Amino acid sequence: MTKVGWESPSNIAIIKYWGKHGRQLPNNPSVSFTLNAAATRTFVAWSDENKYGRIDLTFTFENKENLAFAARIEKFLDNIADEYFPFLKEISLNIESSNSFPHSSGIASSASGMSALAMCLCEIEQSITGYKTAPNEFIQKASIVARLGSGSACRSVHPEMGLWGFHPDIASSSDDFAIGISHLIHPVFKTFHDDILIISANEKSVSSTAGHKLMVGNPYANARYQQANQQIISLMEALKVGDIITFGKIAESEALTLHALMMSSDPYYILMEEASLTIIRKIKNFRLDTGIPIFFTLDAGPNIHVLYPDEYAGEVRSFILSELIVHCFEGRVIYDQIGLGPKKIL
């Protein structure tokens, strides 16, 4: 068997992707920080002994067989094989995956997991076909493939920040893949922190896929898509000039909008916990009292991501330890930061 391995990070959206159509196409463009500590490591071994003419796969997650994940990956591979990787039905695959963060931490692992797998598949393709693509083509294909696995995963293939979704005023933007925007951001954002306060380790009460569907019929959907298209332009300007205050204002507005959309769906979901609200209030008060530019964002769950520039790392760490950690599940915090994207590990 021949084997490849990639580690790929999770990402945190500043402009949120919420609502999709067609084959994993976003209803509005989104922008995210690529993270560093929260990552998935995936190894794929393959041999050319496939007698079935369909996807032939064994899958282990953290050294244990995981039938639910295996079924999802098999379906994904089956879905992309004919169009992107025809050789997949002629080989047998053994996939081993593990996360750097606890599985039950409520952190979305689909972005890191699907991007790590996409990087492996693109490398296997080069090895099997002998055709070496240019690095940017390799990344673009990995982004397309990752998107088909999980929308937000397509942004994780880029260092520092990724932007996914077409916007008429953003050159090269596309609904099919994410583009890297690290060359468009001020140095202050290149060392930004994103500390993840774990509020609950429970499985999400609504999957993202089900959540996206609820945007069909949401009375605020069109206004939301317009808002995202406007906020992304303001955000890009703030990122360029290093305007942390505008950045933070937009990040918080996007997080609260995402939760407001879930609360106004039918059926509705309230995914924040009491502790999430307490922490949000404390972060705002700390910002007002100290003048330190510290902001929050959330995914589709109760965990709070604390965003701040590296310059204030000491003060914010003390604040988290003295004021916020008491609200976290088992005192859990993942101290993370903007990262450099996928790494080849084999």
- Summarize as ranges the residues that interact with ligand DP6 (CB under 6 A): 13, 16-18, 24, 30, 108, 110, 150-152, 208-209, 212, 258, 299-300
Q: Report how far residue 72's alpha carbon sits from residue 205's, in angstroms, rounded to the nearest whole number.
A: 18
Name the minimum Å distance from CB 274 to ligand DP6: 21
Name the minimum Å distance from CB 104 to ligand DP6: 17
Which residue, 4 or 111, has its beta carbon nearer to ligand DP6? 111
Name the minimum Å distance from CB 346 to ligand DP6: 26
Which residue is associated with the tokens 């929260």? 38
Burial 207-237, CB ≥16 within 10 A → b, else e? ebeebbebbeebeebeebbebbbebbebbbe
Which residue, 45 or 118, has its beta carbon nearer to ligand DP6? 118
Which residue, 24 or 112, has its beta carbon nearer to ligand DP6? 24
Q: Report how far residue 1's alpha carbon sits from residue 5's, in angstroms, rounded to the nearest whole number.
A: 13
Q: Report how far residue 136's alpha carbon sits from residue 329's, in angstroms, rounded to the nearest whole number.
A: 41
Burial 142-176, CB ≥16 within 10 A → b, else e? bbbbbbbbbbbbbbbbbbbbbbbbebeebeebbbb
Asked if residues 336 and 196 have their Cβ atoms less than 8 Å apart, the reply is yes
Q: Report how far residue 129's alpha carbon sits from residue 342's, in angstroms, rounded to the nearest whole number.
A: 22
Name the minimum Å distance from CB 264 to ligand DP6: 15
The closest residue (CB) to ligand DP6 is: 151
Name the minimum Å distance from CB 189 to ligand DP6: 18
Which residue, 28 or 50, has its beta carbon nearer to ligand DP6? 28
Name the minimum Å distance from CB 223 to ligand DP6: 18
Name the minimum Å distance from CB 51 to ligand DP6: 32
The alpha helices in the chain, defined as continuous H runs, are 67-84, 110-129, 135-149, 208-213, 221-241, 244-263, 274-290, 313-319
Which residue, 41 or 259, has its beta carbon nearer to ligand DP6? 259
Cα Dmax for the chain: 67
Which residue, 59 or 164, has its beta carbon nearer to ligand DP6? 164
Which residue is associated with the tokens 């609904």? 175
Which residue, 151 or 341, has its beta carbon nearer to ligand DP6? 151
Q: What angle do CA 148, 152, 78 make, to 5 degrees?
A: 20
Asked if residues 284 and 308 have their Cβ atoms less than 8 Å apart, the reply is no
